[in-house]
Structure 1
Amino acid sequence: MPLFTNPDAELCKFVAKVSYEAGIRVFEFASRTDNAPEVFTALRKYADEYLPELIIGVGTIITVKDAQKYLALGAEFIVAPMLSEEVGKFCRENDIFWCPGASTLSEIVRAHDLGADLVKIFPAETLGGPAFIKAIKAPCPWINVMPTGGVTTAEENLKGWFATGISCVGIGSNLFSKDILASPEKTKERVVTLLETIKKVRNA
């Protein structure tokens, strides 16, 4: 799942558009700037008009207040860097997809027990990379996890992650680097290549 954030609404629209054209249908907008609500509102409106099949959620959600705000603005799922039982309860009550962050086996199992649809393992590379994921999946293979942090577009990197039985990966700055964003063609090519590589390693 690609994730992106920027205070420039036009750049966010551009990234979403190019990702959509490349085949992406789920997109995470990270709420990390002061004007993030305004940027998301513009992105949501743009997607509704021009990217009809794109599912857009919001990441870096820390509090219930934040979750309430973005749900009202049209967020279709909630992602967090950590586990908040209050946010989880809010998402369940409002029937919204919830992906909290976790960094220990206890947190991961707790998130699952609280109703998490997907658990974000963050920061995945710092925690031990694929070896860590493999270790936590061994006793709990039924839990859907998404490593974020340290995931790159390189085939060997992706192969290592997907070999552990993960559901998907979260990838941001490595996919949308400044040099790539300077060219629509390069950005689209980068996303297309990523999707093709993921398909390849999944079927390996």
Structure 2
Amino acid sequence: MAETGMVPVFYHADVEVCRQVLKACYDGGVRVFEFTNRGDFAHETFTQLIKYARASFPELMLGVGSVVDAPTAALYIQCGADFIVSPVLKEDVAIVCNRRKIMWAPGCGSLTEISRAEELGAEVIKIFPAQQVGGPDFIAAIKGPCPWTSIMPTGGVEPKEENLRAWFAAGAHCVGMGSQLISKDLIATQDYSRLEELTRTALETISKVRKK
């Protein structure tokens, strides 16, 4: 997360679509990817996807997001998830992940929640929905008294230089990016080469704005 600065976030019920998206992002430079837990039998789709990823993309960390309870976290860890991301702060999820030494990033929206998450062992904190919570100004305000906090904003992050510069200038550890990067139009047209191009450009932009 720290090295690349971006975590694509994606779900689709069709595992072949997921494979193509994963390949495009990986070829574009992504090394951390979040499959979101949405829809019936999502864990079965993930199981097929991570087996494919382990065989094809040895440098990739593939985790699961939208996990809101401990049983779901345990299920995905058993399926091979490299990390767990949640939109909320749930202590029972922390217990399951810490026991298995699986990185988890809980969703927080206040300094009190962030502090509690770090007490529970979270190394990266997801701010969600990042734009609605306060955007880059919120991150900058948090990093003032808590410079040790590693924040991943998700929600409202766009693959545009101005937008990315604002998040990283505020102190973001990395950013989560979903439909702004992997749009419905790209999926509908199956334009995976375009997705690879957009991914590469976004990562290059992140590297650029981080140097300033």
- With normalisation by structure 1, the TM-score equals 0.98
- Identity, in percent, stands at 50
The correspondence for 2:161, drawn from 155, 164, 189, is: 155
The correspondence for 2:123, drawn from 117, 129, 136, is: 117
CA distance in 1, matches of 2:91, 2:184: 36
The correspondence for 1:192, drawn from 200, 206, 210, is: 200
Say if 2:188 is the partner of 1:203: no
Give the secondary structure class of the aligned counterpart of 2:177.
coil
4+ residue stretches of structure 1 with deviation over 3 A? none
- Partner residue of 1:42? 48
How many residue pairs end up in the alignment?
Answer: 204
- Partner residue of 1:65? 71
Say if 2:134 is the partner of 1:91: no
Q: Which amino acid aligns with 1:196?
A: E
Root-mean-square deviation over aligned CA pairs: 0.8
CA distance in 1, matches of 2:171, 2:56: 34
Q: Deviations over 1:112-145 (max 9, x none)?
A: 1110020000001001111111111111110111
Give the secondary structure class of the aligned counterpart of 2:62.
strand
Give the secondary structure class of the aligned counterpart of 1:2.
strand
Q: Deviations over 1:123-169 (max 9, x none)?
A: 01001111111111111110111000000001000000000111100
CA distance in 1, matches of 2:121, 2:41: 30
Give the secondary structure class of the aligned counterpart of 2:126.
strand
The correspondence for 1:102, drawn from 108, 111, 117, is: 108
CA distance in 1, matches of 2:47, 2:84: 15
Q: Post-superposition shift, 1:56?
A: 0.3
Say if 2:130 is the partner of 1:130: no
Give the secondary structure class of the aligned counterpart of 2:34.
strand
Unaligned runs of 5+ in 2: 1-6
Q: Which amino acid aligns with 1:56?
A: L
- Partner residue of 2:4? none
Q: Which amino acid aligns with 1:118?
A: V
Q: Post-superposition shift, 1:179?
A: 2.2
Is 103-112 or 44-53 further displaced after alignment? 44-53
CA distance in 2, matches of 1:79, 1:149: 14
Q: Deviations over 1:18-57 (max 9, x none)?
A: 1111111111000011121111011011111111211100
CA distance in 1, matches of 2:141, 2:62: 31
- With normalisation by structure 2, the TM-score equals 0.94
Q: Which amino acid aligns with 1:184?
A: Y
Unaligned runs of 5+ in 1: none
